[in-house]
Amino acid sequence: MEGSSNIAALLKIAPMIIGLTIVSFGTSSPEAAVSITAALNGNAGVTLGNVVGSNIFNITLVIGISAFLNPLKVESDTIRKEIPFTLLASVALFIMISDISLQFFDANSLTRGDGLILLLFFAIFMYYVIEIALNSREQGLHEESNKKTGSWGKNIVFTIGGLAGIILGGNIVVDSSTTIAYSLGMSETLVGLTIVAIGTSLPELITSVTASYKKLSEIALGNIVGSNIFNILFVLGASSAISPLPVDGKLFTDVILMIGLTILLFIFSRSNYRIGKIEGVIMALTYVAYMVFIIMRN
Name the helix (H) or strand (E) containing 95. helix 83-96
Q: Which residues contact 259 (CB under 8 A, 6 or more apart)?
A: 87, 90, 91, 94
Q: What is the pTM of this model?
A: 0.83
Topology at the third CATH level for domain 2-138+151-297: A middle domain of Talin 1 (1.20.1420)
Cβ atoms within 10 Å, residue 62 = 29
Query: In the 3-class helix/strand/coil scheme, how is 77-92 assigned residue by residue?
Result: HHHHHHHHHHHHHHHH
Instruction: Give 226-277 pLDDT, tens digit per residue.
Output: 889 999 999 999 999 988 999 999 899 999 999 999 999 999 988 878 899 9
**pLDDT class of 212 with cuts at 50, 70, 90:** confident
Q: What is the pLDDT of residues 178-205, one digit of tens each?
A: 676 667 777 778 888 888 888 888 878 8
| Residue range 73-86: mean pLDDT, rounded | 82
Residues in the chain: 298
Q: What is the pLDDT of residues 34-49, one digit of tens each?
A: 777 777 777 778 889 8
> Residue 146's pLDDT is what?
44
Q: How confident is the model at residue 176 (pLDDT cuts 50, 70, 90)?
A: low
- Give the mean model confidence (pLDDT) for residues 281-286: 96
